[in-house]
Amino acid sequence: MDAKRWWPPFAEIVALVWIVLFVVDVAIVVDVLAASESLTETIRTVLQWLLVVFLLDVALLYRWSEHDPRGFVRSNWFLVLTVVPWFRPLRLLRIGRSIRALRQLTGIRRVGSFVNKVRRKCHSLWHRL
């Protein structure tokens, strides 16, 4: 199987599992949910192991990219930030927002042209830094 194809959906599923387990862990800590000590320890152990998956996610994405480490971080700073699981849901928001914006802008030629010019200018300015 091609890892580039199955890894991203797998990483998103792991992120959702992490979020659910994190919420359950917080609920146990604030006494909203009652659980045994062994279940609490199991949840925390699984949360720690899932962090390894998030680090592996960034490592694989870097490996599959054609950038040096500095270029990878510059062009994928948001991705690197979302390695921290608390920020992972932001990635889903970014995708949804981008899709909505593209749908709206594709119908307006002048706006699409303007947005592309601004994007190119920002990109060139960013690389000068």
Consecutive 10-residue runs of the chain (129 residues): their mean pLDDT?
Answer: 80 85 86 89 90 84 84 78 60 53 54 65 68
Sorted by sequence, the CB contacts under 8 Å of residue 111 that are 6+ apart come out as 105
Q: 112 to each of 31, 72, 73, 123, how far by Cα in Å?
A: 51, 27, 27, 16
Q: 101 to each of 78, 97, 123, how far by Cα in Å?
A: 18, 6, 19
Give the per-residue pLDDT at 83. Answer: 66
Sorted by sequence, the CB contacts under 8 Å of residue 22 that are 6+ apart come out as 47, 85, 86
Amino acid, res. 60: L
Give the per-residue pLDDT at 22. Answer: 85
Neighbours of 40 (CB within 10 A): 15
